[in-house]
Structure 1
Amino acid sequence: MMGGRGFSKARRGRLREVLAGHVDRGELPGLVALVSRQGEVQVEAVGRMAIDGPPMRRDTLFRIASMTKPVTAVAAMALVEECRLRLDDPVDPLLPELADRQVLRSLDGPLDETGPARRPITLRDLLTFRMGFGVVMAPPGSYPIQRAMAEAGLMPGERPPQIEPDEWLRRLGALPLMHQPGTVWQYHTGSDVLGILIERATGQPLGDVLRERILGPLGMADTGFHVPASSLPRLATSYWADPRTGTLTLHDDPASSSWASPPVFASGGGGLVSTVDDYLAFSRMLLAKGRYGSGRILSRPSVDLMTSDQLTPQQRADSFLGDGRGWGFGCGVTVRRDDVWATPGRFGWDGGIGTSGYADPTEDLVGVLMTQRLLASPEPPPVFRDFWTSAYQALDE
């Protein structure tokens, strides 16, 4: 702990106690948790990096999956500020594969029953997940479009895509949209398309763009799309959990990891590996309205735009976000207090391989939780909910 009066001395010990209970019960091998407020930082490394592995460390590396999405969105907004991209311009000139879209007449209908898109897809559509295409929240194979996505290798998974970006986008462009652009919030696909747009706008690999504009300036040396050989001993082993029994089975072993070499497709929607301290630096930059030290990643107006809910009430209701949460640019935004931690204006996101990171401007709070147990659904698991409850119950004032 350092300085300040951010957390109650009498209550801050509950964080470790509660999180250790999840590890002691065998729900997951280990975790690293960080909370930061008013200059005070608490970090708890609990359990092990693998079943029967070495102890968790503060600098353990985790696959942060969809916590990549806000980072990619910041890179896009940096290009908007450079006037290399514009929010409401069609993406067609850089992504011709997505020009002249056809749209399904019904989500559950055949792929050849379509009508023309009423307008092109824009950068704003990608950032707000309203491009007209994304994850269908139904059992796999329920609809023809889901089956077509699976056959084309376009279904989001627990690993980055194994198709070159240009080929991935060609396959996406061969399918109709599910909805008219701008009308319905659909998860994930917009961020992967956004990563390709950034690459084409800059002529650089996405990893290089992130490193030059965000990771390097913020000192996020452990964040990237793959783990160098020298750092592999710090990569936690990740696990699936049987939904009925909770039994853990191997998902990704550092010795043969999918993240041990540069990916075929650097996924803007879910490809990064990071640490709690690196993600703290990113989140603190956003809390500081784009500023870090004597430098600046984004302007205050851009951060305000990114972290403001962009959805209509109907779009929120039709999504898995629920009434209390909306979506900004690449991140969730709390719009209504319906839990201890649900401060309106709080923003961030979770990662499907077991991570969570949010920033709260009202409380000057950042929380980052990293585990190696994959999520079973969009609903946060008990360890996430207990982490956030423990962080907020410890606020000193």
Structure 2
Amino acid sequence: MPNYRGAPRMARRELLTVAGASILAACSDPLAKIAPRTEGGSTREVLAPYVERGEVPGLVALVARGHREELLVMGTTAQGSRGAVEADTIFRITSITKPLTATAAMMLIGDGKLALDEPVARWLPELSHPKVLERIDGPLDRVVPAARAITVRDLLSCRMGAGLLFDAERYPIQKATEELLGEAMPAPAKLIAPDEWLGRFATLPLMHQPGERWMYNTSGMVLGILMARAARMPLDAILRERLFGPLGMHDTDFSVPASKLHRFTASYLADPNTGALSLYDPPEGQWARPPLHPSGGEGLVSTAPDLLRFSRFLLARGTFGGKRLLSEAAVEQMTHDVLTPENKAFGAMVPGYFDHHGWGFGMAVVTARDDQHMPPGSYGWDGGLGSTWYADPSTNTTGILLASRAWTNPSPPRMFQEFWRHVYV
């Protein structure tokens, strides 16, 4: 059982699930008051056992139904720490970076700095003449010319023709990618500078023809470099100027300054066989300094209140605080499945995933109910170091769960599955 600094501290943390309005409002005003949900059990009943058993050191869960919110904060910021998780505790959201990057890209498109069907070679000449593998599991020197140019739309929809594969032995292209660009684990301190990264990537053949198949992750990284060149400023500056500042997401960034490190969690990996936790990154580790390469595909840190602001902005179809920041048409494009059946034929990280999901721009879209009960039309994404966010426009519902334990495989851990079943019970 985590150390809660004694009984008085435990009592205060229990209170947050019922009367945490002052805590949430203090760090994210003007969010509305919190109303606990009791139908089918509380969020605490669902998630507390994971903290009490030591399976995760700490977590923040936030469920917003319209203007009613339920907030749960539990545990500590690190194993053995006396620092308690609070509503504004900062977590690594890793791949939830993708929808935020895509949103800022749509803002640049709205400004005319980019166009959806524009070839990326205008800004990324390294990708002017891509080659494509004859077979995805074939040798790297058996290639053909790309049938067409890679476009901005391809990057937003993860259809540029390159992405993560999970078996380097079977796929020589994956082994070559890891050797040139690094492994898939989020590691901002290890990423090489954007121009060098792109130059190395451009020496590799694509795995599929542009527009042919959905493939995960790489498109988001290329998109971030494209945006920086088009806007003539680093990606982190674009996100602060266009998104984080206007939405008041003051704790969302690619690093955590020294003044906020006391609010930042440690990150843990779990042994897939025993469940035992091992430290992946301490608060003063890789995220304690700005990265050389702010990645459009991963790397952000954030809080539950900040992500709720972003979610409400999309649910309001591009408006926030009475101001329009993004067109309704852009939000519509982002949050609807744009993939064809052929696009879904290769690349899903979890078998059967595309039976119930599609992809919009930078995020997943639910197309049919699965065992987590998310309604069709819901959209959002997950972060492999322990985060999930989805929004349901049909009921104006947002769910956010931030934890300090990484996923052990692409399928959601049981804790996350139970959280989403609770949200939609």
Q: TM-score, normalised by structure 2?
A: 0.89
Q: Do residues 287 (structure 1) and 304 (structure 2) align?
A: no
- Distance in 2 (CA, whole Å) between partners of 1:302 and 1:4 is 27
Separation (CA, whole Å) in 2 of partners of 1:4 and 1:262: 33
Identity of aligned residues (%): 49
Aligned length: 391
CA contact (8 A) 1:316 1:323 kept: no
- Equivalent of residue 243 in structure 2, options 214, 218, 233: 214
The 5 Å alignment of 1:310-325 reads 310-318=338-346, 319-320=348-349, 321-325=353-357
1:328 paired residue number? 360
Corresponding position of 1:367: 399
Q: 1:95 aligns with which of 124, 140, 152?
A: 124
Q: Of 77, 80, 91, which residue of structure 1 is paired with 2:106?
A: 77
Contact 1:348 1:358 survives alignment (8 Å):
yes
Instruction: Tell me the CA shift for residue 316 of structure 1.
Output: 2.6
Instruction: Tell me which residue corresponds to 1:357.
Output: 389
Q: Does residue 43 in structure 1 map to residue 71 in structure 2? A: yes
Deviation of residue 41 (structure 1)?
1.0
> Which residue of 372, 377, 395 corresponds with 1:345?
377
Task: Could you list the structure 1 runs, at least 4 aligned residues long, displaced by more than 4 angstroms after superposition.
Answer: 1-9
1:92-122 deviation per Cα after TM superposition (whole angstroms, max 9, x unaligned): 0100111111100011111110000000100
Assess, with a 3 A threshold, how the Cα gap between structure 1 residues 84 and 52 changes in structure 2: closer, same or farther: same
2:211 to 182, 191, 208: 182
Q: Is there any run of 5+ residues in structure 2 with no aligned partner, and where?
A: 1-18, 22-30
Assess if the C-alpha contact under 8 Å between 1:317 and 1:323 holds in 2. Answer: no
* 1:168 matches 2:200: no
* 2:52 aligned residue (12, 15, 24): 24
What does 1:371-386 align with in structure 2 at a 5 Å threshold?
371-386=403-418
Does the Cα contact within 8 Å between 1:128 and 1:329 map onto a contact in 2? Answer: yes
How far 1:342 sits from its partner (Å)? 1.8
Q: Gapped runs of 5+ residues in structure 1?
A: none
CA contact (8 A) 1:87 1:123 kept: yes
User: What is the DSSP-based 3-state SS (H/G/I as helix, E as strand, rest coil) of the residue aligned with 2:247?
Assistant: coil
Amino acid at match of 2:389: G
**How big is the alpha-carbon RMSD for the aligned residues of Structure 1 and Structure 2?**
1.7
Work out the CA distance in 2 between the residues paired with 1:70 and 1:286.
11
Question: Which among 114, 136, 141 is matched to residue 107 of structure 1?
Answer: 136
CA–CA distance in structure 1, aligned partners of residues 34 and 279 of structure 2: 38
Decide whether the 8 Å contact of 1:127 with 1:191 is kept in 2.
yes
| Aligned mates of 1:180, 1:216 — CA distance in 2 | 38
2:141 & 2:270 partners in 1: Cα distance?
A: 39
DSSP 3-state at the match of 2:74:
strand
The answer to whether structure 1 residue 63 and structure 2 residue 92 are counterparts is yes
Name the CA distance, whole Å, in 2 between partners of 1:7 and 1:380. 27
Aligned position for 1:195: 224
Residue 302 of structure 1 corresponds to 330
Aligned residue for 2:8?
A: none
Q: CA deviation at 1:287?
A: 0.4
1:341 shift after superposition: 2.9
Offset of residue 158 of structure 1: 2.3
Q: Kindly tell me: are residues 17 and 73 of structure 1, through their superposed partners in 2, closer, same or farther at Cα, counting changes over 3 Å?
A: same
The superposition leaves residues 21-41 of structure 1 with CA deviations (integer Å, 9 ceiling, x where unpaired) of: 111122111110001112111
CA distance in 1, matches of 2:169, 2:94: 24
Q: Structure 1 length as normaliser, TM-score?
A: 0.95
What is the distance in 1 between the residues matched to 2:32 and 2:294?
39
Decide whether aligned partners of structure 1 residues 316 and 82 sit closer, same or farther in structure 2, where only a CA change above 3 A counts: same
Partner of 1:217, secondary structure, is helix
Residue 158 of structure 1 is matched in structure 2 by: 186
Query: Which of residues 55, 64, 80 is equivalent to 1:52?
Result: 80
Shift of 1:147: 1.3
Q: Which stretch shows the higher mean deviation, 97-106 or 12-21?
A: 12-21
Larger mean CA deviation between 158-167 and 202-211 belongs to 158-167
Higher relative contact order (CA 8 A, sep 6+): 1
